[in-house]
Structure 1
């Protein structure tokens, strides 16, 4: 069995290179998203007196809950670093030189990422619902926990329900409070009780449910307003009590009361977090059935309460003559307004009041049902979001690998610098697009499958494009590629530079140069004669003018390369005046199938033909300049050849 199963040494090396990077980047990404979680919920946890066990459990569930967010980013960063390192150390070049294409090099990692994606799906479907239930129930418990009691000096403290406390000064060593005011407003401001004392000692009962204040040298005032409604408002009876020592109990639960998981599971607005794929599908079908039933009820109600139809529910003997006449067509029916005008004013008022009352009742009924339908539709959208996320996150892992690996092979930069910058930019784009799709789905603006797969639709073409470019050794990350493109776009001429060489190994062969210059002039004349102006059909179908232009460029470059070794400065100066010839602007090769298709798509074909006109004019202008400079250069080379011949004769 072992002999039949064998991993190639190259595949083993790539896997051993990738896995440590993946584990490292996954730990870094998980730590970063965990810090973002801490920044978001730090206000809910600070000042609650939570134990380390509660905080540890909270961060543990938060880390597990954030794995789907950190996994795609870590795969992107790890693949960028792995292939960037191999490209920087020329390992990819050696692999390609051995005849192994890039896609075959990526094969073991593709299988590994597919396995990771499948594992991510089962994690989200089986484990994440339980994790999310525990996480959000614990988070809700922490949010509702009472804050840690710390009464400040010189400020009213309002964190105890029904009480306001004021302490002028505290002795932190002895725990004594001085000049204390306690306002009991639990029964309302009309029945407020105020306690004033010189000093007090605060403690808590053993079950941590009551605060015990031991008050010294003070007074207590309390209003009595029950049963005094008929009395004058200028007098409010109250009681006053003087005391030397008094004990006051104030309800304050300082315990951490943990909520059960049924808080999340039993809530219709959040129970989608606790469901797997099958449960989500069943819940969606059930809610759709309920929504369809409510819509059917609304349609029936509107139909029954439409003009003349709302009286169909009356007994047959009570239907008025209007409905009977309407059913007995083609008998003409009198205008209903004339029947209304025949009634006295009191009866008309009664009819109007009855109609208004029915309209308002129907309006309120429809409004409440509409609110219920909106909430149901929003809940269905939440279920669809959770349903699709079980597939979109694993698919995002595959997409990010096919973005990161080819991009690393193109950039050829390892380490943490360039890969982190590129990864962060791409992940921010993904996060923004994914949130746009999420909100559009949640608010029923887009269909759920479009909204939740929107980020994949945007990034998948990028992954395919980068993979194709990397397989063909693209130079899309080379700055010269873009600089040349913008030079051509804005007609910025590239200047030639031929510096004077102190040491020359290969001297120009002037007899060959003269022949090439004559051929160059003849080819330019033939080109300008045949293609002075490019017709529409010639532009798309005739590829001969491209081949002639390429031949002219080759001869020109060969002549100038020969003259770059000249010791004559006038020749070098004249060679620098030759223009750099450009190509015609066309998306496809002339005569090819795509070019034929574009030619027959008239609006698109004419647009490209119009855009090529400035390029055609520049090419004709440059060819005329090349022909003129060729004649001038031939005169200089002939003169130099004559001088060389005389020197040889004298020597």
Structure 2
């Protein structure tokens, strides 16, 4: 390795590791802030908390690494340009491409490492972290209750507006759906306040509800009374629900039985899952289409219909074969059948939408592993020439520029992936969109930097306008 390559690489690596450690520390602090309410006051030892943070840290690398490469490139090449080191290189016949050659090899190595990390380390860390968090939640049931959404705890589904207290045991605005052997939620309880009473040494957790109402839907024997939805309502000052937590407190924090998220899978496993989900999804859609076609009764109709006839003409031709009473009964049955079919279609549509969303998530997770490696290369060719152009090193302007570029890159990716989950755009384009947008910018900046041009040449924009104004006589020509 030549002295120049060694000098550039050493300067880059010093800044790279410093920036990476600082950014990782900041994002780990953010993780602690997000989960401090779940970890503090839970009687967890330091080893469990350390494992929790250790397992969550690898998931931060897809955020930290691209930002580190972008910021380090701007800072390093900005320092070279600010201290006229690039001018000295160019005067010696060394171009920007030649100066970047050694770092390009390093960035390729980093991108390959990032790919390996995303395919092996992050899935393993995701597997460990989710299982550890689930086990902690079982150890402390209050931790399993998230504000604002329904949570399954024991034999109830519970939703609370707010939690308070040292262990989150005091609940506000409680809604409970109690599970029964019957299909559906027939028993609902609402209370202004609630309190969780129990300990890790007990197999019973008591939920004490205060100042609320108890609703129990009555199932009438006469089906004609079902649309009225009769129910029994009672008021209580205090009501206690005891939940058996024998399986909760007997918790092994090393247990790892939870393994059904896309973040835990490698590329080979994702490909297998996507293929399996796609086959199953297409089969369900085809079976449902066939079922609805047969349910319509078209296959059993022995009537010659003219395709040019209107619906009203077809209906009249069928009903003419029956008297008025029978025709009325047929119409009522047909309307009931159509309404039932519509309800069934709406239900299946929601089910298919969930399946498609899950499939899209798996495809996004697959492409993200490749996109991370490519993003490292693209952001290097954005940051390095940009630093050479702005000719400013340090943590001031380079930090601002890097953050603005990275936020643009990051938010485009987030919005695109959210759109891809509901099927608005392809998961492939959603994952690669931010990188594809940054690629022309990297090419443009590299060209401008290697040809010793500024970021923008305003004369190219102003001169055509000036010529037009001169022809119009609005600007006088200069006289010698």
The TM-score bracket by the shorter chain reads: 0.7 to 0.9
Distance in 1, matches of 2:294 and 2:28, equals 57
| Distance 1:124-1:108 versus aligned 2 partners, 3 A rule | same
2:110 aligned with 1:110, yes or no?
no
Counting only pairs closer than 5 Å after superposition, residues 310-321 of structure 1 correspond to structure 2 as 310-313=297-300, 320=302
Shift, 1:203, TM fit: 11
| Distance 1:429-1:340 versus aligned 2 partners, 3 A rule | same
Counting only pairs closer than 5 Å after superposition, residues 495-506 of structure 1 correspond to structure 2 as none
| Residue of structure 1 equivalent to 2:115 | 121
| Residue of structure 2 equivalent to 1:33 | 27
- May I ask how many residue pairs the two structures share in their alignment? 394
2:45 aligned with 1:51, yes or no?
yes
2:288 aligned with 1:298, yes or no?
yes
Shift, 1:122, TM fit: 1.1
| Residue of structure 1 equivalent to 2:374 | 395
Shift, 1:65, TM fit: 1.7
| Distance 1:358-1:339 versus aligned 2 partners, 3 A rule | closer
| Residue of structure 1 equivalent to 2:130 | 136
What's the C-alpha RMSD, in Å, of the aligned pairs? 3.7
| Residue of structure 1 equivalent to 2:167 | none
Say if 1:48 and 1:147, in contact at 8 Å, map to a contact too. Answer: no
Say if 1:85 and 1:414, in contact at 8 Å, map to a contact too. Answer: yes
Distance in 2, matches of 1:137 and 1:467, equals 45
Distance in 2, matches of 1:160 and 1:343, equals 57
| Residue of structure 2 equivalent to 1:288 | 278
| Residue of structure 2 equivalent to 1:96 | 90
| Residue of structure 1 equivalent to 2:417 | 438
| Residue of structure 2 equivalent to 1:208 | 201
Say if 2:363 and 2:427, in contact at 8 Å, map to a contact too. Answer: yes
Shift, 1:104, TM fit: 0.9
Match 1:474 to one of 453, 463, 470? 453
Distance in 2, matches of 1:584 and 1:353, equals 75
Larger relative contact order (CA 8 Å, sep ≥ 6): 2
1:238-272 CA-to-partner distances (Å, cap 9, x unmatched) read xxxxxxxxxxxx98977765374322x1x3xx2x1
Say if 1:45 and 1:143, in contact at 8 Å, map to a contact too. Answer: no
Match 1:63 to one of 44, 57, 80? 57
Say if 1:117 and 1:397, in contact at 8 Å, map to a contact too. Answer: yes
1:103-142 CA-to-partner distances (Å, cap 9, x unmatched) read 1100000010001001111111122211111112222333
Unaligned runs of 5+ in 2: 144-152, 157-177, 179-186, 190-196, 206-243, 307-312
| Residue of structure 1 equivalent to 2:74 | 80
Say if 1:88 and 1:413, in contact at 8 Å, map to a contact too. Answer: yes
2:6 aligned with 1:8, yes or no?
no
Say if 2:305 and 2:314, in contact at 8 Å, map to a contact too. Answer: no
| Distance 1:47-1:344 versus aligned 2 partners, 3 A rule | farther
Counting only pairs closer than 5 Å after superposition, residues 102-501 of structure 1 correspond to structure 2 as 102-146=96-140, 208-209=201-202, 258=253, 260-263=255-258, 265=259, 267=260, 270=261, 272-305=262-295, 310-313=297-300, 320=302, 323=303, 325-326=304-305, 336-337=315-316, 339-341=318-320, 343-476=322-455, 489=462
Say if 1:209 and 1:255, in contact at 8 Å, map to a contact too. Answer: no
- Secondary structure of 1:48's aligned partner: coil
1:407-449 CA-to-partner distances (Å, cap 9, x unmatched) read 1111222222222122111111111111111111112111122
1:123-166 CA-to-partner distances (Å, cap 9, x unmatched) read 111222111111122223334442799xxxxxxxxx9999xxxx
| Distance 1:36-1:616 versus aligned 2 partners, 3 A rule | farther
| Distance 1:444-1:339 versus aligned 2 partners, 3 A rule | closer
Shift, 1:51, TM fit: 1.8
Shift, 1:454, TM fit: 0.9
Distance in 2, matches of 1:426 and 1:299, equals 47
Say if 1:47 and 1:148, in contact at 8 Å, map to a contact too. Answer: no
Say if 1:50 and 1:256, in contact at 8 Å, map to a contact too. Answer: no
| Residue of structure 2 equivalent to 1:573 | none
Unaligned runs of 5+ in 1: 1-6, 150-158, 163-185, 191-201, 213-249, 314-318, 328-333, 490-582, 586-610, 631-651
Distance in 1, matches of 2:134 and 2:203, equals 23
Say if 2:55 and 2:129, in contact at 8 Å, map to a contact too. Answer: yes
Distance in 2, matches of 1:301 and 1:419, equals 62
Say if 2:364 and 2:431, in contact at 8 Å, map to a contact too. Answer: yes
1:201-225 CA-to-partner distances (Å, cap 9, x unmatched) read x997xx722699xxxxxxxxxxxxx
- Provide the TM-score with structure 1 as the length reference: 0.55
Counting only pairs closer than 5 Å after superposition, residues 475-624 of structure 1 correspond to structure 2 as 475-476=454-455, 489=462, 583-585=463-465, 612-617=467-472, 621-623=476-478
- Secondary structure of 1:261's aligned partner: coil
- Secondary structure of 1:111's aligned partner: helix
Say if 1:130 and 1:274, in contact at 8 Å, map to a contact too. Answer: yes
Distance in 1, matches of 2:339 and 2:355, equals 24
